[in-house]
Chain A
Amino acid sequence: MNRIEAPGQPAAVEAVGLCVGYQGETVVADIGFRLAPGKVLALVGSNGSGKTTLLKTVAGLLPAVSGSLEVLGARPLASPGKVSYMGQFHPSSFMLPLRVHDVVRMARFAAHGLFGRMTAEDERAVREAMAVMGVRDLAEAPLNGLSGGQRQRVFLAQAFARDADLILLDEPAANLDATARATYRRCVRELTAAGRSVIVATHDIDEAAECDWTMLLAHRVVAFGPSAEVLTQSALLATFGIVGKYQEGGIVIVEREHGHDDCQGSH
């Protein structure tokens, strides 16, 4: 099993022989890793490679096909208030009569259930998350009047407002401009410095390069390890089916290669 931290540390997520998929059909098999607090793991792969499936399984939205998975020392979904999840699509949000503040405030419901009163601490967390993602000025604005990028910042603020120990983000940088992207990355660094763990599903090699660990997925675990070691040309070839150069933190696509499955990553 690949370990992200020393075995003695309590794990944020621990998977052993995990198979993930839909309705019993395996998408990615034999996943094993242990994510310690304060670390960021990037799940990298092309569309349909299994990164969203794995992320949803960790979130508890999909049952594991087989294998074992512990999230914060228990089964997934055991501690809703301690795990935050931002999915890729919010199709219904386009027409909902919700203000930005209402959307971010929803993050705090998990800690209070049906009847628990929202506290001053909740309101502080909501205000801070909106401020961090630069949407505090939009607090009273209707969600359905925002641009795609603004909405994405609101959804990120919602994910951060939960004050969760584990934050799961699916394509968080989608629709973000360069400034907002830098803001989001700084937030992740601050969260991990405070001991929070983050798993990010992304297409973005640059983003993965900034993470502590990277798992390359292409219906299987192509490679897994420290980002600097995993993001190699051969591993990216096996993941995306492209030949490219990875140098000085950037990937340059040179040409598309056929029969890329022959290439094995450094699993």
Chain B
Amino acid sequence: MIMDFLITPFSSNAFLLNALLAGMLVSIACGIVGTFVVLRGLAFIGDALAHGVLPGVAIAMLLGLPGMLGAAVGALGMIFGIGFITRRSNLSSDTAIGLLFVGMLALGVAIVSRSHAFSGDLVRILFGEILGIRTSELVIQLVATLVIAALAVVCYRPFLLLCFSPEQAEVSGFSPRRYHAIMLVMIALTVVVSFRTVGTLLVFGMLLAPAASAALFSRKITTMVLTASGIGACSVYLGLLASYHYNIAAGAAITLAASALFFGLLTIKQLLPAPRARHGASQGAAS
């Protein structure tokens, strides 16, 4: 009975198994990238990138091109736009991000609203279509996840230094600008390949919630990445299960599960005694 409830939906429905696999891959990509988004305080830029791809997707669909290509162009446009406004004005990057964020979102909605042919697709762009994932899309998601993981391994040292202090990265011979740009490209890649799965609106939740949950208990960044990926995968499983049994929109159910896990874990942390590492506080020199 319990097994029927927990496993049969995936074993007897190929589309749901595809959705589970796609969701797992999104979880791994979001676990890696989301960790750095949370640690470096890049949540706003992550949000803006997630929404800023909308006009790119809309234009691509209008021209009959793959939506993912449009999303990639939209994300790159956002990254360059933020850099341009920040460099050419005295405005903070927050303001630059905000301006582009609302501008791109409005442009996307305007394009979609002008074309009655696919105005119904707006919901699918925003909330994804995880239950309609094809094998070819799974392969793209797998390749993107592998690229993101490889970049994180190669850039581990500069990323760690960048999280700790951009000045320390610079004096250690790692250009903060270069590795910040690589980090933004990783966020963009995650958003672009995930928008079909959980949608542009909800991919942000998958970037943030599992990594924030992992941050509550992790003492090492590698542990945080693995925990965030695991929490993301649990959210996908629970969300799909809820979607199947209770007829809830799958993308929303997954993000809701991720958010619920965060608040649940936060509550548990509040109930646990806080570990403090004050021992050795008055210890003097040892040599």
Contacts and interface: CB of A to CB of B under 8 A. Distances in A.
Interface of A: 56, 59-61, 77, 80-81, 83-85, 87, 90, 92-93, 95-99, 102-103, 106, 109-110, 112-115, 128, 131-138, 141-142, 145-147, 149-150, 177, 179-180, 183, 186-187
Interface stretch (B2-10, B218-226, B241-249): B218-226
Given A97-B220, A106-B160, A109-B172, A114 B154 contact: yes
Nearest to A105: B160
A145 B277 contact: yes
Band of interface residues on B: 35 or more
Given A92-B39, A92-B163, A97 B173 contact: no
Contact of A87 (B41, B167, B219, B283): B167
25 contacts: A56-B167, A59-B171, A60-B170, A60-B171, A77-B170, A87-B165, A92-B39, A92-B165, A93-B164, A97-B39, A97-B219, A97-B220, A103-B164, A110-B172, A110-B173, A113-B157, A113-B173, A114-B158, A132-B285, A134-B283, A138-B279, A147-B278, A149-B281, A150-B278, A150-B281
Nearest to A180: B284
Interface string B265-283: 0000000000111111111
Contacts of A145: 275-278
- Chief secondary structure at chain B's binding surface: loop
B165 A81 contact: no
B93 interface: no
A96 B158 CA distance: 15
Given A114-B157, A132-B286, A137-B283, A106 B164 contact: yes
Contacts of A179: 282, 284-285
Nearest to B278: A147
Interface string B135-170: 000000000000000000011011011011101101
Contacts of A136: 286
A126 to B, nearest CB: 14
Given A142-B275, A177-B282, 6 more contacts: A80-B173, A83-B171, A84-B171, A106-B160, A142-B277, A147-B281
Given A87-B165, A98-B221, A81 B173 contact: yes
A179 B279 CA distance: 16
